[in-house]
Chains A and B, each alone.
Chain A
């Protein structure tokens, strides 16, 4: 079975600074997708960024980018120019080729003004 591990339960970053959230996963599949989701307090989970495993190029979405290391099974999220609105729980997720999703336990990001 696939597993997703987020080893940082909580992190803090100063406003305007850069922070990197870590995620590793375990799988025997070669074709899969990886995601980062954001869950603000008492609000809905929203997609931040996605990465197809067959693509070597790292995905970017404005201030958000990933460092995808397929051989190492690592998928970290970098947030540049952190803003107060970035404060939330961040979940790393893996989607298998059978369309089943596995989520990590989350990293709580605090942004300090």
Chain B
């Protein structure tokens, strides 16, 4: 079966622009996670969805970051007024349920010029 997919694989944008990053989880996985990974670092938790609702969004760095999962499947991470410091790899992972093994997508590499 298909794994977690993320689009686009790479995104280059200019400072101040708005970007959307998409995550398609494995079919049937109710839990979905977003992470940010800077070069040479481990993934940093951003937000966790259980179904359609954000169960924990404490990792979102500020109000420029927002994520949705309206139908409990696909999720979109939205970043407003991008800054150069937002440049990183954004990883998505899904799991069958709370506490189950996470399966990661290939990530979206975001570069803010």
CB within 8 Å of B: which residues of A?
4, 6, 33, 37, 43-47, 50, 91, 93, 95, 98-106
Residues of B contacting A103 in the complex (Cβ-Cβ under 8 angstroms):
35, 42-44
Contact of B48 among A91, A93, A100, A104 (CB under 8 A): A100
Contact of B104 among A33, A45, A95, A105 (CB under 8 A): A45
Residues of B contacting A37 in the complex (Cβ-Cβ under 8 angstroms):
104
Flag if B91 contacts A99 (CB, 8 Å): no
Flag if A105 contacts B40 (CB, 8 Å): yes
Flag if A99 contacts B98 (CB, 8 Å): yes
Flag if A47 contacts B101 (CB, 8 Å): yes
B26 at the interface (CB under 8 A from A): no
Which 4 residue pairs across A and B have the least CB separation, nearest first? A103-B42, A45-B104, A103-B43, A91-B42
Other than the known A6-B42, A44-B104, what 7 A-B pairs have Cβ atoms closer than 8 Å? A4-B42, A45-B43, A99-B31, A99-B99, A105-B40, A106-B40, A106-B41
Residues of A contacting B3 in the complex (Cβ-Cβ under 8 angstroms):
44
Residues of B contacting A6 in the complex (Cβ-Cβ under 8 angstroms):
42
Flag if A44 contacts B106 (CB, 8 Å): yes
Contact of B56 among A43, A50, A98, A105 (CB under 8 A): A98
A104–B43 Cα distance when bound, in Å, is 8
A103–B104 Cα distance when bound, in Å, is 14
Can you identify 20 A-B contacts, CB atoms within 8 angstroms?
A33-B99, A44-B3, A44-B106, A45-B43, A45-B104, A50-B101, A99-B31, A99-B50, A99-B98, A99-B99, A100-B45, A100-B58, A101-B33, A101-B43, A101-B45, A103-B35, A104-B42, A105-B42, A106-B40, A106-B42
B55 at the interface (CB under 8 A from A): yes
Residues of A contacting B103 in the complex (Cβ-Cβ under 8 angstroms):
47
Residues of A contacting B45 in the complex (Cβ-Cβ under 8 angstroms):
100-102
Residues of A contacting B44 in the complex (Cβ-Cβ under 8 angstroms):
103
A104–B48 Cα distance when bound, in Å, is 19
- With CB as the reference atom, state the residue of chain B lying closest to A106: B42
